[in-house]
């Protein structure tokens, strides 16, 4: 963005259907301003491969808008179940993975990526 310019007006709908690649979740950037990034994630029976962990350089706050999911957090003995309205804060470098999402409908997430240590 050029200094002094106004961002372009945009709108959308968080529950708009998407076309999936069979083995991948759908990630859609919605807004990126300075160090903050907001994205929509849509899963449909997707999970992170068992040997893979997310180990992000930034803090992330995620809310589940529809569907259902289970997250695995490294070092925690049980899975975290998420239903619509549930949210979780994942500090930078907290290893985590999506263990399960409901297979018969879309699971829609809204993720806000923040600079490290913003709690």
Domain count, the chain: 1
What's the domain range around 70? 26-114
Residue 81 within any structural domain of the chain: yes
For the record, the structure tokens of 5 come out as 């310019």
Residues 37-91 pLDDT 10s = 999 999 999 999 988 999 999 999 999 999 999 999 999 999 999 999 999 999 9
Residue 15 within any structural domain of the chain: no
For the domain that residue 53 is a member of, what is the CATH number?
2.60.120.10
Residue 59 within any structural domain of the chain: yes
Residues 3-46 pLDDT 10s = 555 667 888 888 888 876 767 889 999 999 889 999 999 999 99
Predicted pLDDT at 2:
47
Q: Which residues of 61-81 are buried (b: 16+ CB within 10 A; e: fewer)?
A: bbebbbbbbbbbbeeeeeeee
């Amino acid at each position: 963005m050029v200094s002094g310019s106004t961002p372009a007006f945009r709108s959308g709908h968080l529950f708009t259907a998407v076309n999936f690649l069979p083995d991948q979740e759908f990630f859609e950037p919605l807004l990126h301003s300075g160090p903050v990034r907001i994205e929509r994630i849509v899963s449909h029976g997707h999970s992170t491969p068992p040997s893979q962990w997310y180990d992000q350089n930034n803090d992330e706050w995620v809310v589940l808008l529809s569907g259902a999911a289970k997250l695995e957090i490294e070092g925690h003995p049980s899975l975290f179940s998420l239903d619509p309205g549930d949210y979780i804060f994942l500090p930078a470098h907290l290893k985590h993975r999506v263990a399960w999402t409901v297979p018969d409908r879309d699971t829609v997430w809204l993720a806000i990526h923040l600079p490290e240590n913003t709690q």
